[in-house]
Amino acid sequence: MTEGVQVSGSLRTRLAITLTGGAAVLAVLLFIVVRNYAAQIAQQGQDSILSASVTSILDAAVIRDGVVEIDFPYASFSMLSTPMDDRIFYAIYQDDTLLSGYGDLPRTSGTATRAYQGSPVRLVTASRVLIGANVRTRISVTVAQTQDALSGTLSRISRNVALFGAGFFALATLLSIWATATTIEPLKRLTTSVTRRGPQDLSPVAKPVPLEMVPLVASLNSLMARLGQSLKQSEDFIAEAAHRVRTPLATVRSYAEATLQRVDREENRQALRSMIRAIDESSRAAGQLLDHAMITFRADHLERDDLDLVDLLRELVLRLTPVAEMKDIDLHLQADGPVIINGDPILLQNALRNLIDNALKYAPGESVITIRVDAQPRVQVEIRDQGPGFPPDEIDGLTGRFSRGRNAAGTIGSGLGLTIAQDVAAAHGGTLALSNLPEGGACVTFSL
């Protein structure tokens, strides 16, 4: 089915990769943004507590008798306590002289992060000018704190954000699988509806399709319309040609017959008989071609009707009885009652006539042809004869166009009868099966 078609990747894979790739990028972006934002907020929290601590120390500084005195408020360090017992350092300078604290603590202006005693610390520095009776001095206070609690909080937040990002990615992947499936679905439906068609069905795709597929379906429909048109033209041509050949052939045949009556010399009579036979061959072929063209055309637009299959066969048997009588063949119709079906009467008649015609042609004289109609388990007509049966090695190919068996030598025919019967069965959703009976004779089963 797909041979000869060049494949360029898969829409499903492309869609899935785009969607899951997009989801992965989004998940990573989400992780980075949320983590940075959380880090910023946590840092702001630490900074504001450090600033409050610095301010409270600065506020406690006074000049008494010309000397700077600082009465450390208890709260200035206790507010910095953390669950991780982060270490706190401080340094207080009067102008450039260390008054108290760690002299090696880096002096910065404002807030900064520096390494101190082997770990990163956050420092906040602020200063204040004190004015006494005859003194004017600048007090500068730095408070620093390690960041163990902060990095603990940050890694907790990172873990949670990572989990959230992974969950988001999993959900987006599921969604993308679902989205891919629903996007591909209409394409699949179209493929199924085109694949399921019968070989003769060239009707346009009628089911609604998504907007993006409209140009494709429109081209498909127009292609099928053109194909149908050109098929019909060639069928018409065959029918017209067959018709044009048949009429003059009938005239030639009647002249040949008339001449045969008047000719006495045996070799001339032999020549005329061969001529008549050739004319019969040609006119049978023209007739079968005409029927075949008609059936091919009608198979697309079956003119269905409720009809009794037994009735239809009874009529056929009646019409073929004169032919059967010429060979002393008994045409025997068996049915338990009417078998009502919905089908195209002209096509069915044509198909069944061809099958009975075969039995009459290939069965020997003074034999019985049984035509059995059944409604259960499925509607079928079985035609059995007492002839030689189908040549077993050729049986599979006999329904092909213009295919004739070895046993047909010397019998007039064109090899289209079984093709016609099979096409009619297929147009009605049925089958045609050929077999040989164990006791000899051919059995053809026409099921609907």
Ligand X SMILES: Nc1ncnc2c1ncn2[C@@H]1O[C@H](COP(=O)(O)OP(=O)(O)OP(=O)(O)O)[C@@H](O)[C@H]1O
Binding footprint of ligand X on the chain (CB under 6 A) = 284, 288, 354, 358-359, 362, 385, 387, 389-390, 398, 403-405, 407-408, 413-419, 442
Residue 343 touches which member of ligand X, Mg ion, none, C-beta under 5-8 Å by kind: none
Q: Which is nearer to Mg ion, 165 or 417 (CB)?
A: 417
Q: Which is nearer to Mg ion, 145 or 358 (CB)?
A: 358
* Backbone φ and ψ of 310, nearest 5°: -65, -40
Helices 214-262 and 266-300: angle between axes, nearest 10 degrees: 160
| Nearest approach, Cβ of residue 240 and ligand X (Å) | 20
Q: Which residue's CB atom is positioned nearest to Mg ion? A: 417
Are 399 and 418 within 8 A, CB to CB?
Answer: yes
Order the strands of the 119-131 sheet from edge to edge: 97-101, 88-94, 136-146, 119-131, 110-116
| Nearest approach, Cβ of residue 228 and Mg ion (Å) | 29
Q: Which is nearer to Mg ion, 202 or 295 (CB)?
A: 295
| Nearest approach, Cβ of residue 436 and ligand X (Å) | 9
| Nearest approach, Cβ of residue 444 and ligand X (Å) | 7
Instruction: Give the per-residue contact string, 299-338, with Mg ion (x = CB under 5 A; - = no).
Output: ----------------------------------------
The CA angle 71-97-128, to the nearest 5 degrees, is: 55
Q: Which is nearer to ligand X, 343 or 387 (CB)?
A: 387
Residue 93 touches which member of Mg ion, ligand X, none, C-beta under 5-8 Å by kind: none
Long-range (24+ apart) CB contacts under 8 A made by 370-375 are: 370/332, 370/334, 371/313, 371/317, 371/331, 371/332, 371/333, 371/334, 372/334, 372/335, 373/309, 373/310, 373/313, 373/333, 373/334, 373/335, 373/339, 374/336, 374/339, 375/336, 375/337, 375/339
Residue 126's nearest CA partner among 149, 88, 103, 92 is 92
Q: How many residues bind Mg ion (CB under 5 A)?
A: 2
Residue 414 touches which member of ligand X, Mg ion, none, C-beta under 5-8 Å by kind: ligand X
Instruction: Give the per-residue contact string, 410-429, with Mg ion (x = CB under 5 A; - = no).
Output: -------x------------
| Nearest approach, Cβ of residue 195 and Mg ion (Å) | 33
| Distance separating alpha carbons of residues 249 and 255, to the nearest angstrom | 10
| Nearest approach, Cβ of residue 315 and ligand X (Å) | 20
Q: Which is nearer to Mg ion, 141 or 421 (CB)?
A: 421
| Nearest approach, Cβ of residue 399 and Mg ion (Å) | 11
Q: Which is nearer to ligand X, 217 or 369 (CB)?
A: 369
Residue 288 touches which member of ligand X, Mg ion, none, C-beta under 5-8 Å by kind: ligand X
| Nearest approach, Cβ of residue 371 and ligand X (Å) | 12
Instruction: Give the per-residue contact string, 370-409, with Mg ion (x = CB under 5 A; - = no).
Output: ----------------------------------------
| Distance separating alpha carbons of residues 99 and 107, to the nearest angstrom | 14
| Nearest approach, Cβ of residue 10 and Mg ion (Å) | 50
Q: Which is nearer to ligand X, 50 or 359 (CB)?
A: 359
Q: Which is nearer to Mg ion, 111 or 358 (CB)?
A: 358
Are 216 and 43 within 8 A, CB to CB?
Answer: no
Name the token pair of 6. Answer: 């060049």
Q: Which is nearer to ligand X, 259 or 367 (CB)?
A: 367
Long-range (24+ apart) CB contacts under 8 A made by 19-24 are: 19/172, 19/173, 19/175, 19/176, 19/179, 19/180, 20/169, 20/172, 20/173, 20/176, 22/172, 23/168, 23/169, 23/172, 23/173, 23/176, 24/169
Rule CB under 5 A: choose which of 76, 82, 142, 358 binds Mg ion.
358
Residue 165 touches which member of ligand X, Mg ion, none, C-beta under 5-8 Å by kind: none
DSSP string for 380-405: EEEEE-SS----TTTGGGTTSTT---
Contacts (Cβ under 8 Å, ≥6 apart) of 202:
224, 225, 227, 228, 231, 300
Task: Name the residues that contact Mg ion, by CB under 5 A.
Answer: 358, 417
